[in-house]
Amino acid sequence: MVPPALAPRWRDMATLGWVATRQLGGPAVRLPLIGVVSCAATWPVVMTTLVGARADNALAAHGKTALVTVSACEPPDRVRWRRLLASAATVPAVVIALCLPLIAATVAAIAAAIAGWRWLSDLLITVGQAESAVIAVLMLAGVAPVVRSITPIQRQAARLSARQRAITLIEASNLAADPADRRAATILVRNLQRHADTRQVAILANPRDSAVAAMYRRLGFEPLNADRPGMLLRWPQRSR
């Protein structure tokens, strides 16, 4: 779905994952001090999604500063085994990130018990459990907005319209960009538009907030429902 020119380099994935975590995460990732910890806890979960999308040729990027995931909408997508396998391969990293404090505390507690410091051993176990629980909470708080669902009614309407026009429809979601590069998101979407126009493919945009929706509208996307904010659609433009 994504042309090679727009596919991110594998060596840039970690940076793009951090950008996505900072921009798509919940309020916890923006809090002072705790935000950094929340980002670090959420980043492995976000990477699970991004690695799967990259392996399935469904992730577009502009350098290291902007990214967007792409999925087939009409005709309906088949089961993406490559994406599932790539995502599954990153699950151990998520488990390690969640359990690392407890593992480290357990090792230290065993050493303390051997040294005869029973009270310290018990304290370390308690601290390790508390740290893992905090990381789990921060991870869920950070990743929840990324996996939020959008009302399917608008998507179904767009699919029906594309089917009637006999046009392929793709969905662009999870658009994120580094705030330091204000043009990165615009450049990325325009590049995706040019590719879609070449293939005569319509794009269904799934903005995360009103600011992103406004950017899509400036680039020629139109709301599916003028009375209700949500998804936006752009039909392919024919070359003159």
Q: How far is the C-alpha of 182 from the C-alpha of 179, rounded, in Å?
A: 6
Q: How far is the C-alpha of 39 from the C-alpha of 135, rounded, in Å?
A: 10
Q: Is residue 240 domain-resident?
A: no
Q: Is residue 1 domain-resident?
A: no
Q: Is residue 178 domain-resident?
A: yes
| Whether 186 and 102 share a structural domain | no
* Domain CATH for 64: 3.40.630.30
- Which range, 21-25, 59-63, 206-210, is most confident? 59-63
Tell me the average pLDDT across 117-143. 65
| Whether 185 and 207 share a structural domain | yes
Work out how many domains the chain is built from and give that number.
2
Domain final residue pick, 107, 138, 169: 138
| Whether 149 and 191 share a structural domain | yes
Q: Is residue 5 domain-resident?
A: no
Q: What's the chain's average pLDDT? A: 81
Q: Is residue 171 domain-resident?
A: yes
- Cis status of the peptide bond prior to 75, with omega within 30 of 0: yes
| Whether 76 and 161 share a structural domain | yes
Give the predicted TM-score (pTM) of the model. Answer: 0.75
Q: Which residues pair with 4 in a beta bridge?
A: none
Q: Between 34-55 and 118-143, two packed helices, what is the crossing angle to 10 degrees? A: 60
Residue 41 has pLDDT above 50, yes or no: yes
| pLDDT tier at 142, thresholds 50, 70, 90 | very low
- For the chain, helix (H) and strand (E) counts, in that order, are 8, 6
Tell me the average pLDDT across 189-195. 96
- 88-106 pLDDT, tens digit each: 777 777 676 666 666 777 7
Angstrom CA distances, 110 to 98, 101, 107, 118, 138, stand at: 20, 14, 5, 9, 28
Tell me the average pLDDT across 222-227. 81
| Whether 116 and 196 share a structural domain | no
Three-state secondary-structure class, residue 23: helix
pLDDT at 182: 85
Residue 42 has pLDDT above 90, yes or no: no
| Whether 63 and 129 share a structural domain | no
Domain final residue pick, 74, 103, 138: 138
| Whether 214 and 115 share a structural domain | no
Angle at 206 between CA 79 and CA 49, to 5 degrees: 45
Q: How far is the C-alpha of 33 from the C-alpha of 30, rounded, in Å?
A: 9
| Whether 157 and 228 share a structural domain | yes
pLDDT at 92: 74
Q: How far is the C-alpha of 240 from the C-alpha of 237, rounded, in Å?
A: 9
| Whether 14 and 45 share a structural domain | yes
Structural domain that includes position 134: 92-138
Angstrom CA distances, 145 to 11, 35, 68, 139, 179, stand at: 26, 15, 15, 11, 19
| Whether 74 and 167 share a structural domain | yes
Domain final residue pick, 138, 164, 196: 138
| Whether 16 and 132 share a structural domain | no
Give the burial string for 40-66 (b: 16+ CB within 10 Å, else e).
bbbbbbbbbbbbbbbbbbbbbbbbbbb
Q: Which residues pair with 61 in a beta bridge?
A: 67
| Whether 18 and 72 share a structural domain | yes
Burial of residue 92 (CB within 10 Å: 0-12, 13-18, 19+) is exposed
Residue 56 has pLDDT above 50, yes or no: yes
Q: Report the 10 Å Cβ neighbour count for 122.
A: 13
pLDDT at 147: 45
